[in-house]
């Protein structure tokens, strides 16, 4: 195995396994020069980028053919077109930064031919296979490498003037740590963000992001519509991750500690993310900042029950509401700006020890679902920071599990582990409402997550039996239907789901102990990717 490939693989392992390394991931790249208008308005959504490349194909300005021979566009048809259609093929994924780079290069030079992307893709034949060279940087899924064949109608082969023009342009926006091939083909060139060059055949120009997880330096606005993930690393530090679900993305530590066996809760508005978490000092903390940055946090100065996690939601007035189990064992709500002390008050109703509430917004009020100290599912509504009102649904819950709530019209829907399987409930907050079984098994002791997609709801959960990530969709209080993603979860952990357009995005702790993200239509296989970031053995991450 070439030494540079070995280093790239070791780096991924170290990030996952060694606590000292987890807190030193590189920050967002600085542009070496002015990328200009070519880097403006670049989406962070793979489907949008793939559709844009499809428009270039139709216009005759983009071609992606394995090996560069002929005009079969097999790379486009097998690896890019499925992304544009909303159903990426497993094993044929392409890193969002690679898609962005191709769009940017077409905008800058007018046309582009790509000769190689993801050799792992099983739906097409490759002239150079991973079996022939398993250490190739094109044998990483999602693909983090691309080979340029021609740019602006001129061949690039590592040495000519167009190659040098391309490399200098790429260096203005690729993340620091990017690699380029064909170094032996040309006179010495130095770069700012392309930090390593290596030998490669002189018939194309290779670029890859295999050693770096940071995004392109094309402005925060390009990533503003993507959800953020909050999670506790294997060092117990609160980290936030950003990127498109189902891709590598990138994360950064906040330098704030999360209490053992608890999870943060996040919500993103615009390009700012807010988080609530149970701090290592046993107090409720809130944090704010751009996902993937250090941001800042503050102690709310109210104690939380050990082993429980809060839930956060943005209110219509721009303030935030947090629901949590306080140190007295009761349901409390907090209100204020994240990163400030704010104000908290008890709801004067007891919670089952060790369980956590879930929160949403209906109109101008907060609505909370929780397991009461009776073991039944209850809902609460009111202004955060007030007593409000709560009522039992009379539905029983599995001991030690937590419900999840979402808004659907003027009502709410709740997903929960009944002890006999996954159930959903629907009704006006603080009323009895009605619930029923989905007839799907849920892992003992685990809890689901729920979001609204159009007129339906979607639920993510760890299925019983194999323990894989499942998604379910339908009207609440109906059987609906579900499907496995075929991705293994850490036993007893809880996934987190959010809506992205007509699809959903999910964050979860994989059975490897790493943070994974998944995207697709609910109740489909979809596709997921490893963030290569190690998680603490907690209740799971939060995405929003």
| Model pLDDT for residues 3-54, shown as the tens digit of each residue | 334 334 333 333 333 232 232 233 333 333 368 878 887 887 788 899 999 9
Specify the 3-state DSSP secondary structure of 497.
Answer: strand
Q: In the predicted model, what is the mean pLDDT of residues 531-543? A: 89
pLDDT at 178: 96
Name the average pLDDT for the chain. 89
Provide mean pLDDT across the span 174-201.
Answer: 95
**Under 8 Å between Cβ of 321 and 279:** no
What is the average pLDDT across 177-206? 96
Q: Please state the φ and ψ torsions of residue 379, each to the nearest 5 degrees.
A: -125, 150
Q: Note the pLDDT tens digit of each residue in 251-290.
A: 899 999 999 999 999 999 877 899 999 999 999 999 999 8
Would you state the pLDDT for residue 21? Answer: 27
Whole-number pLDDT of residue 436:
97
Percent of the chain having pLDDT more than 90? Answer: 74
For the segment 348-362, the average pLDDT, to the nearest whole number, is 97
Please indicate whether residue 343 or residue 42 has the higher confidence score (pLDDT): 343
Write out 93-131 in H/E/C secondary structure. CECHHHHHHHHHHHHHHCCEEEEECCCCCCCCCCCCCCC
Position 248 pLDDT exceeds 90: no
Question: Which of the pair, 28 or 292, is modelled with greater confidence?
Answer: 292
**What confidence score (pLDDT) does residue 285 get?**
98
pLDDT of residue 168 exceeding 80, the answer is yes
Structure-token pair, residue 211: 């050693």
Please provide residue 39's backbone torsions phi and psi, each rounded to the nearest 5 degrees: -95, 5
- In which band, very low, low, confident or very high, does the pLDDT at 225 lie, cut at 50, 70 and 90? low
* pLDDT (0 to 100) of residue 270: 77
pLDDT band at 185 (very low <50, low <70, confident <90, very high): very high
pLDDT one-digit tens code per residue, 481-490: 999 999 999 9
Chain segment 360-404, per-residue pLDDT in tens:
999 999 999 999 999 999 999 999 999 999 999 999 999 999 999
Distances (CA, A) of 286 to 236, 274, 335, 515: 16, 7, 10, 22
- pTM metric for this prediction: 0.67
Could you write out the DSSP letters of every residue in 257-326?
Answer: EB-TT---EEEEETTEEEEEEEBTTSEEEEEEE-TTS--EEEEEEEEB-TT---EEEE-TTS-EEEEEEB
Task: Give Cβ neighbours of residue 178 (< 8 Å, ≥ 6 apart).
Answer: 170, 171, 193, 194, 195, 207, 208, 209, 212
Instruction: Indicate whether 440 pLDDT > 60.
Output: yes
For residue 154, what are its two tokens?
A: 């001129």
What was the pLDDT predicted at 219? 60
Are the C-beta atoms of 349 and 330 separated by less than 8 Å?
yes
| Lowest-confidence pick of 173-177, 195-199, 290-294 | 290-294
């Amino acid at each position: 195995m070439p030494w540079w490939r070995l280093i790239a693989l070791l780096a991924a392992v170290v990030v996952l396994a060694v606590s000292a390394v987890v807190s030193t991931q590189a920050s967002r790249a600085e542009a070496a020069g002015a990328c200009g208008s070519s880097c403006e308005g670049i989406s962070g959504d793979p489907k949008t980028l793939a559709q844009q490349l499809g428009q270039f194909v139709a216009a005759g300005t983009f071609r992606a053919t394995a090996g560069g021979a002929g005009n079969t566009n097999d790379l486009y048809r097998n690896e890019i077109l499925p992304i544009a259609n909303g159903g990426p093929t497993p094993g044929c994924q392409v890193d969002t930064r690679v898609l962005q780079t191709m769009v940017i290069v077409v905008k800058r030079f007018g046309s582009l031919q790509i000769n190689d992307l993801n050799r792992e893709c099983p739906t097409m034949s490759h002239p150079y296979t991973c079996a022939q060279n398993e250490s190739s940087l094109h044998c990483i899924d999602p693909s983090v490498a691309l080979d340029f064949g021609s740019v602006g109608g001129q061949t690039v082969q590592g040495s000519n003037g167009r190659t040098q023009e391309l490399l200098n342009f790429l260096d203005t926006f690729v993340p620091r740590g990017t690699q380029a091939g064909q170094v032996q083909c040309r006179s010495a060139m130095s770069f700012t963000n392309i930090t390593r060059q290596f030998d490669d055949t002189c018939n194309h120009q290779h670029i890859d992001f295999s050693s770096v997880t940071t995004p392109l330096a094309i402005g925060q606005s390009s990533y503003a519509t993507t959800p953020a993930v909050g999670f506790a690393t294997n060092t117990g530090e609160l980290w936030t991750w950003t990127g498109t679900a189902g891709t590598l993305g990138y994360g950064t530590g906040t330098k704030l500690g999360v209490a053992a066996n608890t999870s943060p809760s996040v919500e993103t508005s615009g390009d700012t993310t807010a988080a609530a978490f149970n701090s290592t000092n046993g107090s409720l903390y809130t944090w704010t900042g751009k996902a993937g940055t250090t941001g800042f946090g503050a102690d709310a100065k109210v104690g939380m029950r050990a082993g429980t996690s809060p839930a956060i939601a943005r209110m219509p007035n721009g303030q935030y509401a947090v629901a949590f189990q306080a140190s007295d064992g009761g349901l409390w709500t907090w209100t204020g700006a994240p990163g400030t002390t704010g104000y908290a008050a008890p709801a004067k109703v007891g919670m089952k020890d060790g369980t956590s509430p879930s929160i949403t917004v209906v109109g101008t009020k907060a609505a909370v679902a929780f397991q009461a100290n009776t073991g039944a599912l209850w809902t609460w509504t009111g202004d955060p920071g007030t007593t409000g009102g709560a009522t039992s649904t009379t539905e029983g819950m599995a001991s030690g599990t937590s419900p999840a709530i979402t808004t659907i019209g003027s009502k709410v829907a709740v997903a929960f582990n009944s002890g006999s399987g996954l159930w959903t409930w629907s009704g006006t907050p603080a009323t009895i409402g009605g619930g029923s079984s989905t007839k799907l098994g849920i892992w003992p002791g685990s809890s689901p997550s729920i979001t609204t997609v159009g007129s339906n709801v979607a639920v993510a959960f760890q299925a019983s039996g194999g323990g894989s990530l499942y998604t379910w969709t339908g009207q609440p209080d109906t059987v609906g239907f579900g499907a496995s993603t075929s991705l293994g979860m850490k036993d007893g952990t809880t996934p987190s789901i959010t809506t992205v357009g007509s699809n959903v995005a999910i964050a979860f702790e994989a059975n490897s102990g790493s943070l994974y993200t998944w995207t697709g239509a609910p109740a489909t296989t979809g596709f997921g990717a490893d963030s290569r970031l190690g998680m603490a053995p907690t209740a799971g991450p939060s995405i929003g």
